[in-house]
Structure 1
C-alpha cells in the first residue's frame, strides 16, 4: 500500500486513538487539575498525531524524521504525565495499563518509521 496521506499511516491512526483515550480518562480528573495536569496531558497527546501529520506533509524526508522525533518526545511526555496521574490517584493500574501499552506500541512504530527514513551510512 502506498502512503498518499498521513491518514494512511497506522501510527497516526493509533496516535488518534491515544488522544481519544487521554481525553476520556482526564474527564474525571479533579477540577483543580483542569489547567494543570489535564491540560498538559491533553496537549502532549494531541501533539503526537499532529507532528506525524505535519512531518508527513513537509517536502523532505529529513523534515519528516525531525517531526517524528518531536512526536516521540511527546510520547515520553504523555507517559510521564500518566504515571504522575497514577501516583496522584487519578488513574488505577487497570486504567493505566492499556493506555501505556498503546503508548509503547506507538513509540515502537515511530522508531521503526524513523529507522526507515534515516539515510543509509
Structure 2
C-alpha cells in the first residue's frame, strides 16, 4: 500500500485530527454557560483553532528548518493550552469527565505527533 504524500497542510493526518478536535470543542462549548462566552469558551476555541493555524504555517515554512520548528513549537504550546482549558471545563462541570478525558487523550496524540515532527524536522524539509 502506497503512503500518501502530503502536498498541502490539509493532507497531514495531524492537521485533520487537530481540526476535528477543534470542531468538537466548538460543538461542546456551545453548551457552556453564557457567562463563559468571553472567558473559557473563547479561550478553548481560540487555542484549539490555533493548533491548526500553526500547523498550516509550519507546513508553509518547512523549507526553513528553524521557522518550521518554531511554528511547530507554537502548535505544541497551543495543544497543551487546549488541554488546560479542557481540564478547567471538566472541573467546572461544563463537560463530563468521560468526554473531557477522551478529548484530552486526543490532544495527547496530537502532541506526540507534533513532537515527532519537531524531532525529525529534517525529514519534512521541502529542500530535500
- TM-score normalised by the shorter chain: which range applies? over 0.9
The unaligned stretches of length 5 or more in structure 2 are 124-128
Equivalent residue for 1:31, pick from 22, 34, 47: 34
CA contact (8 A) 1:79 1:100 kept: yes
TM-score normalised over the length of structure 2 = 0.88
CA contact (8 A) 1:85 1:91 kept: yes
TM-score normalised over the length of structure 1 = 0.93
The unaligned stretches of length 5 or more in structure 1 are none
Measure the CA separation in 2 of the matches of 1:87 and 1:118: 40
Q: CA RMSD in A?
A: 1.4
Measure the CA separation in 1 of the matches of 2:52 and 2:11: 12
Measure the CA separation in 2 of the matches of 1:93 and 1:112: 28
Equivalent residue for 1:63, pick from 63, 67, 76: 67
Measure the CA separation in 2 of the matches of 1:118 and 1:76: 24
| 2:90 counterpart residue number | 86
CA contact (8 A) 1:51 1:67 kept: yes
The number of residue pairs the alignment matches comes to: 119
Equivalent residue for 2:57, pick from 41, 54, 58: 54
